[in-house]
Structure 1
Amino acid sequence: MKTIGLIGGMSWESSLLYYQIINQHVKKRLGGHHSAKSLMYSVDFHEIKTLQHQGNWAEATNIMIESAQKLEKSGADLIVICTNTMHKMAHEVEEAVSIPLIHIADSTANEIVKDGIQKVALLGTAFTMEQDFYKGRLSEKFGLEVIVPNEVDRSVVHDIIYQELCLGIINEESKQMYLKIINDLIQQGAEAVILGCTEITLLISQDDCVIPVYDTTRLHAVSAVDFALN
């Protein structure tokens, strides 16, 4: 079993899910008392959030690189960035270490393609929905058509992530707002929805939607285990 290196704390609410899912999947694969060999370097999310909203991606990249290098030096055999947004600097992190990085968009897109879906709705932070580092990878590498909410709805999705979900606040009214936004995207032809922020799974599940829901947190964590065991 390889040792999984996790860059966590963005937020720790979703990092908790990563740890849980990874160990559950190892137990499912190996049985008995097996659990995952893993290391987590958890950053201070306040610092990351501030840099994101200042647009200081260079300093945020430095933090991600340093985190990955610390994990590699500590014995990690692979890197998992436990957040969608910070895959903005995934390439730079990959270049800075000699161990593989499991990309969250790849883990998600592989399942979507396998299911024969072509047009997907993407929910996430404004950075993920508006910038090309995530949407571009889905379209260029996997041939997916990706649609996102309108500007007003993107702001709603973004604010609920940072003001509620990252703080562990689960609000039924916010859930209904998300579901309305998803339904609007269905009307635009979305065949499935990507929960493209690792906290959204705290609010929305497959039971809430009439189209397939791709939980990036779970898919990413399971991909890490599959790599670690294979």
Structure 2
Amino acid sequence: MAPAPLNGSEELTPLQPYQPWTEQMQPLCYWDDEPVALLVEPQAGSGWIDGRQWMSELSTAWFSLLSTALQVGAWLENHRFCGRCGAPATKLSAEFAMHCHACGHRNYPRISPCIITLVTSGEAMLLARSPRFPPGRYSTLAGFIEPGESAEEAVHREVFEEVGVHIDQLRYHQSQAWPFPHSLMFGYFAEATTRRIRIDGVEISDAAWFSPRQLPSLPPPYSISRELIETHLARWREE
């Protein structure tokens, strides 16, 4: 899999022409009723673009396929050896699993549950920026669900930890697999009960309330963060 022109057009596809499958290839899924395999290049050339750039250059219709490929590729790279005894692990062909013949341990792709939340106050949206974001970009609040914690508890905790705001009226919207590196995002809306912002200064470098008529640079269209924002904006345009 690598970006390439689609049937001579300007549209890009991550799929390469058919070639015989080898032992190095990982069967991935079916796409348009055709089997797709992943080949991880251990030393890709400098001309290869990273996953986020793939997402920005390809149609959003490719997102689920790319998400699967990126997550499985990262898992294959990071689990070549058994995490229990350190012996080399063998990739199984019938499922996503790495098997250790030395101790019998079997490893499956890691999936880390996260919450991502658009906090609102009427029409206003609470958006924040990470120090890692491109200049001017703001997004919704997100974080990993901790051991023993429900998704709803994680929403309350993350929002308060990052911006010091209390919330209620949580509404689940939808989920999205997020391959950077292996997250499963649970998207929520929440209504603020307090508006004063107190950023943590570590994960969040700035946060502010934005009206639908005055928005900052937003996350890319393939992200669930953008989906939450656009859903809120559409609701207020209708009213």
Give the TM-score normalised by structure 2.
0.24
Structure with greater proportional helix content: 1
Q: Normalised by the size of structure 1, how large is the TM-score?
A: 0.25
